[in-house]
Structure 1
Amino acid sequence: MAFGRRRAAQAQVAMADGGATPAAAQARGGRGRLRVAPDPVTEVIGERASNGGVLLFSVVLFALAFAAVLAAGTAATGGVGPATVALAVLLAALAVSACHIAQQWERVVVLRLGKFNRVSGPGLFWTWPVIESNTMRVDTRTRVTSFGAEETLTADLVPLDVNAVLFWHVWDARAACTEVGDFTRAVELAAQTALRDAIGRAGAAEVAIRREQLDRELKRVLEEKVAAWGVTILSVEVRDILVPPELQEVMSLEAQAEQRKKARIILMEAEQDIAELMEEMGDFYAANDAALRLRAMHLLYESVRETGGTIVVPSSFSEGFGDVLPDTLRETLGR
């Protein structure tokens, strides 16, 4: 029932957003606005890390401490009373609050009376009950955040939709806890702003073609912004750049015209080379009549070989080769 109500609510959001799908309505969030769509979980289902061991350790520790205090109280007073049970519960709770376990990828920021004391973990660590507190558990694994810019104007006033992915991780848990209120949200908004600014400084063609340069620029800008928060930007990858359909047609026509221009230039260069070669060959044949006649015979032979036909050669034509042909061949052509 809860699933059905959630789907119905998503459908109502989609209808209010102009008939778009719930996913599209959530991603768009409003016409002309930039939206960040973080991926809170980057692990595949079935491979998610479990905290069951930590919880089991806390339960076992509580039970052992409770049993030990209860046994000591019984031995001291000779019986089990309400005061003994209350004392056992209190001391067991203090033992659980003093002993902690951090996972391999976790760092725990410990404050003592409100002031930063240390960063603990991974593994087993202890704190003073009441005096010290575990303020924040920071996940130091690589995180993936997808973000995008919708209908952002470029330098030549062309609206573009750009989607990108940010890979980052926390390397300094202390700075992430004490220097910024919500470092996850801060990184997302910084990536959003950097993408918008990068698009606004370049033209539409430059954004669409020079994607790798846009990735490097975003990474450089983000590194400067988030370094003070104890965050490292691993890479920024632009996934998709959507150009308005009407602009796609114009850019296609422009590209076709550019290709036709290149084709004509190549054709003219080829004709120029051919003309230069023909000029050289003309000079050569002008100085050598025998070569010209042999060339004519070669062309004649090629035409007959390709078509498989027969050519009747007049006797006057064969006399023109008298200086270059053997006597036997000249007599054959003369017949």
Structure 2
Amino acid sequence: MDFGFYRVENLFRTANFVIVLLEVLLVVLWIGFAVNSKRTSVIAFVSAISAIILLASVLGGNPVISLVLLIVLVSLMANTIRVVNEYQRGVLLRFGKFAYVVGPGINVIMPFGIDRLLVVDLRTATIDVPRQEIITKDNIPVMIDAVVYFNVFQPELAVLKVQNYFNATSLLAQTILRAILGKYDLDDILAKRQELNEMLREELDRATDPWGVKVTATEIKSIELPEEMKRAMAKQAEAERERRAKIIRAEGELQAAEKLSEAASIISRNAGALQLRQLQTLTEIAVERNSTIIFPLPLEIMKFFVTNSEIKGSSGNSENIG
């Protein structure tokens, strides 16, 4: 009977030793994470809690108590260890007051509501500004939608100075979009889109700077015009194209007339040049294999034939008289 009692006692001691050993390993790991955070208050808190748990487990000598303390230790570790990604930063509030900004990696905070960690994403975010109806300076209603690119450069300001920096930036972008584009005519909005994009970015960045938000770019995606305005602009563009076509045609006729005048002046100074030009024209016509060729003759040739016929007629009459 005594042998069984000693056996159970040894078993309890062994179980208690294993549990305490496991607690020691977890405490070492926990303190290591606290030291990595480089915060004196956190290191002191973790060390004190760990010492109390280990001391209670060793002095208690009961595996049940040690097991309960182990569960408490694991629960505390789960509530105090926070992992922050590389593209994130944590804003730590201690008793409701801003303490410091937590960097990436494994961090340890105080439990029981003492510390509260708010994680902020530092990557560039995109806001699709909803379509806005804007009245331009020349009283034309247009529908414009845009996109805004921004990122947080001071996480503490994004948490402490504005309730929701994402929604606030989106609403502010809508307001600034209507305010700035309403000062310009429709032609300026269509022609100066790049300048307006830069102006929108500067205004929005100036307004969001106190929130720790940096606006990197704004782009006007599309401008939707009323159907009546589209038809009017189409007519205007068609009239402009016709005007250009008439000007080009008139300039071509003017240049052709100038060149023809120069050619006529050159040909008029040399009688043989006209004949050569006629022969060249015949050569060009012959290439086309036409069946009918109209060949102009100078009037001097006709006069020559008329003169010869008159001479022959007069000579015949004289012979008959003789």
* TM-score normalised by length of structure 2: 0.69
Contact 2:57–2:65 (CA under 8 A) maintained in structure 1: no
Which is further off, 247-256 or 284-293? 284-293
> C-alpha displacement at 1:227, in angstroms?
2.2
Counterpart of 1:40? none
Counterpart of 1:236? 218
The alpha-carbon distance between structure 1 residues 144 and 283, as it changes in their structure 2 partners (threshold 3 A), is same
Counterpart of 1:76? 59
The alpha-carbon distance between structure 1 residues 314 and 80, as it changes in their structure 2 partners (threshold 3 A), is closer
| Code of the aligned partner of 2:244 | K
The alpha-carbon distance between structure 1 residues 79 and 296, as it changes in their structure 2 partners (threshold 3 A), is same
The alpha-carbon distance between structure 1 residues 148 and 271, as it changes in their structure 2 partners (threshold 3 A), is farther
Contact 1:70–1:84 (CA under 8 A) maintained in structure 2: no
| Code of the aligned partner of 2:60 | T
Paired with 1:114 and 1:67, the residues of 2 have a C-alpha distance of 25
Counterpart of 1:270? 252
Contact 1:105–1:140 (CA under 8 A) maintained in structure 2: yes
Counterpart of 2:271? 289
SS in structure 1 opposite 2:288? Answer: helix
Contact 1:70–1:80 (CA under 8 A) maintained in structure 2: no
Paired with 1:290 and 1:227, the residues of 2 have a C-alpha distance of 86
SS in structure 1 opposite 2:137? Answer: coil
> C-alpha displacement at 1:120, in angstroms?
1.0
Counterpart of 1:255? 237
**Rg: which structure is higher?**
2
Alignment of 1:23-38 (within 5 A): none
> C-alpha displacement at 1:192, in angstroms?
0.8
Counterpart of 1:167? 149
The alpha-carbon distance between structure 1 residues 251 and 184, as it changes in their structure 2 partners (threshold 3 A), is same
Size of the aligned set, in residue pairs, is 259
Aligned sequence identity (%): 29
| Residue segments in structure 2 that go unaligned for 5+ positions in a row | 1-25, 31-48, 303-322
Question: Superposition RMSD on alpha carbons, in Å?
Answer: 3.3
Which of 155, 166, 169 in structure 2 is aligned with 1:187?
Answer: 169
Paired with 1:314 and 1:266, the residues of 2 have a C-alpha distance of 34
Paired with 2:111 and 2:50, the residues of 1 have a C-alpha distance of 20
The alpha-carbon distance between structure 1 residues 113 and 277, as it changes in their structure 2 partners (threshold 3 A), is same
Contact 1:152–1:199 (CA under 8 A) maintained in structure 2: yes
| Code of the aligned partner of 2:59 | A
Counterpart of 1:152? 134
Which is further off, 108-117 or 272-281? 108-117
| Residue segments in structure 1 that go unaligned for 5+ positions in a row | 1-60, 321-335
Contact 1:108–1:134 (CA under 8 A) maintained in structure 2: no
Paired with 1:186 and 1:314, the residues of 2 have a C-alpha distance of 87
The alpha-carbon distance between structure 1 residues 255 and 313, as it changes in their structure 2 partners (threshold 3 A), is closer
Paired with 1:310 and 1:161, the residues of 2 have a C-alpha distance of 66
| Code of the aligned partner of 1:239 | K
SS in structure 2 opposite 1:300? Answer: helix
* TM-score normalised by length of structure 1: 0.67
